[in-house]
A and B are shown apart, each in its own frame.
Chain A
């Protein structure tokens, strides 16, 4: 058993490199803890920060349990509403990751499809779509997201805002990140398109979409995987930024960004814990995902190694 595991770790290049890269191992551990804590938050958190009835305003602004005036019930203190900060962070991470994953799925499906078609067909379609991508790339992603978010708020009926906010955020972030996927996939498709296995499909008379999605797509998976991880971190950051600016998720369901925004109001009045802990969580998560992305990029690119 152990022997076969060891052999597998040698034969599989990615696993081999992964097991010999302490940075990637540490990052994976941290990312796993973050994601695990977020997913399991309803079961491991002491109380439900979304349940207004369970909150007690008298518990508000309690410092971490180890400092003066701390309360053993709240390990890292509470916020201005009397929410347990640890529980709020876990639930907030869950929300942030949910939006991040949804947005990145949306962006990758859109970007990969557009990139494949642009790379395969070339010509006018390629020219038009890629110019749109260029224009969008010249704007910061946060601006695009803000713009889409703003439009959605104006268009959607008032009462629906809070319910649809996650969807709106997903679309806003997804639309600001699809360009990365489209450009990378297009470049890879250009290379793959001229390989003889694609020609052999064309000779057989295969439908272009079948060639694209069944034959070329699997060969572009390496770069896609890298962008998926790196852009997941970007999406989580974007969501945090939008929530920080107050245009993200509703205030009664705080995400990491919302918690940080609440925290900044108390930063200079001595209640430092409200801003420090959510920020630390966000930084830890984004850095670990980014490190994983960097590792994948190096491991999948034989030229750098």
Chain B
């Protein structure tokens, strides 16, 4: 089989001040025409570097150290800029991750399409326009003749991504590199886009390199798959074989770490990182240990932590409207209703999963509960007492300690200018849980050990840690306040699957040890399946369905829930 694109023993290096960093370490890859080749791996695996190397768009100072990239019989390595320029966008196209930024917001769709077509083909503007219309119609945009003169912001995310695909197609390329084409999209849109990519690939006989971190996407879309790790090819072959019967340990572990929709596991198997340094246990605070942390955290009896059917938190008829009350200078400002008529009960010791697409109001719900967002109607009750909302909640209100939150983005939820010690010690000092500096230090070290970090970490700053480690620190910070109720707002959506598995394991363990009640917010149904006892589905600020997890995943009662479930890429073979 003659390959359309064949990468042979490719090495890409990035010189840094710490020496040469080898981003691609002898990568081999073959893509045939009419085939979708999935490139999967965790962040830092070098997936995008492969794409950039093929496009000749390696970011400075990266360079191809050795190896060949053969495209249709021609070696692209060392090709000069002019030749590359003729190739790029003509015979090789690219689909980017974020349709918000890959289209120029100041030009109409028509202008951008026609410009690209005429760049590579000698056709008149009106011919180019007709071509553009035909192409966009093919990508499934309705009513395109009217909409082609619109600006990108007038399209929804999914529609924009279709335009981007249309742009990539408009020079009839032989190869398309799609770098995380659906990561920024909701599951329902993702499914349609993937279907479109597959159809185009078959009909036009285009070779597609599909770069993604999402194994579910690969499973549903790709013909063949290559698993990358740290710039090396771990395993390559037919999708069914590689994902269904993985041969290499890493692939097996990766597959085990992916949360499954079809069944609930007690724990994930942890992937031991190959380049994780041996944990430095030499530095320790005297007498500090994970068991000391557990003991201290349990020393004060929290009645909210007993598992029973008393509601811990009751949210009734909750409305949140943004921008209400402020009359705009330009006409009426009706405000945007983020949440309307929300009713939720959270029992003691229960994990309640909240699921919904982006913009459904999941995070607003969390913010309303912690008092960051004012309510426009409704009330909240916590442990049988009124819970004041927004500004009405006193700074010293007791709920401020017992309700703690773990945020989505571990890169912005920790103060980069504070040591880990002062980050974790802050709640202890702030809530006056201990005044003894020696004890505080011991506690910080112990809690770090409890969340699976070396005690030495307390001396460092957040930027010295990876995303997963930062999220552990964030969990530790929430934990030392001795909370009864933990709100986790997409705690793993910024993390790789193997790290996600570790954090989910950690949360499960902590939940069991301390009997925490958790409100677990996620857009990922599979994660919810693994974590939650009950599920609340939210759509456009309204509760669609509330039911037990097992019941929900086996037989969802509402059409919207059924649609969500069927559109989530699954790993069932």
Contacts and interface: CB of A to CB of B under 8 A. Distances in A.
A205 B418 contact: no
Contacts of B477: 200
10 contacts: A10-B18, A196-B407, A196-B412, A200-B407, A200-B477, A203-B371, A204-B400, A204-B427, A205-B396, A218-B417
Q: Nearest 10 CB-CB pairs, A to B?
A: A218-B417, A196-B413, A205-B395, A196-B407, A195-B412, A205-B400, A197-B415, A203-B370, A196-B412, A197-B413
Contacts of B418: 215, 218
A205 B412 contact: no
A22 to B, nearest CB: 17
B512 interface: no
Contacts of A200: 405, 407, 413, 477
Contacts of A215: 415, 418
Interface string B386-420: 00000001111100110111011100111111100
B405 A219 contact: no
A167 interface: no
A203 B18 CA distance: 40
Contacts of A134: none
A202 interface: yes
Interface residues of A, number: 18
Interface string A197-221: 1011011111100000001001101
B296 interface: no
A221 B416 CA distance: 12
Interface of A: 10, 13, 16, 195-197, 199-200, 202-207, 215, 218-219, 221
Contact of B397 (A16, A199, A205): A205
Given A196-B413, A207-B395, A202 B430 contact: no
B277 interface: no
Given A204-B430, A205-B394, 18 more contacts: A10-B17, A10-B18, A16-B17, A195-B412, A195-B413, A196-B413, A197-B412, A199-B372, A199-B407, A200-B405, A202-B372, A203-B371, A203-B400, A203-B403, A205-B395, A206-B395, A218-B418, A219-B416
B465 to A, nearest CB: 14
A10 B430 CA distance: 37
A206 B412 contact: no
B409 A196 contact: yes
A206 B417 contact: no
A162 to B, nearest CB: 44
B234 to A, nearest CB: 31
A219 B417 contact: yes
A203 B413 contact: no
A26 B431 CA distance: 51
A204 B18 CA distance: 40
Contacts of B371: 203
B433 to A, nearest CB: 12
Given A196-B408, A205-B400, A218 B372 contact: no
Contacts of B409: 196
B272 to A, nearest CB: 27
A206 B430 contact: yes
Contacts of B18: 10
Contacts of A196: 407-409, 412-413
Contacts of A13: 17
Contacts of B401: 204
Nearest to A195: B412
Contacts of B427: 204
B421 to A, nearest CB: 15
A207 B393 CA distance: 13
A7 to B, nearest CB: 10
A196 B408 CA distance: 9
Contacts of B481: 204
A169 B508 CA distance: 64
Contacts of A204: 400-401, 427, 430-431, 481
Nearest to A20: B17
Contacts of A199: 372, 405, 407
Interface string B430-459: 110000000000000000000000000000
Contacts of A197: 412-415
A203 B412 contact: no
Nearest to B416: A219
A202 B407 CA distance: 13
B417 A221 contact: yes
A207 B372 CA distance: 14
Nearest to B397: A205
A257 B397 CA distance: 59
A125 to B, nearest CB: 16
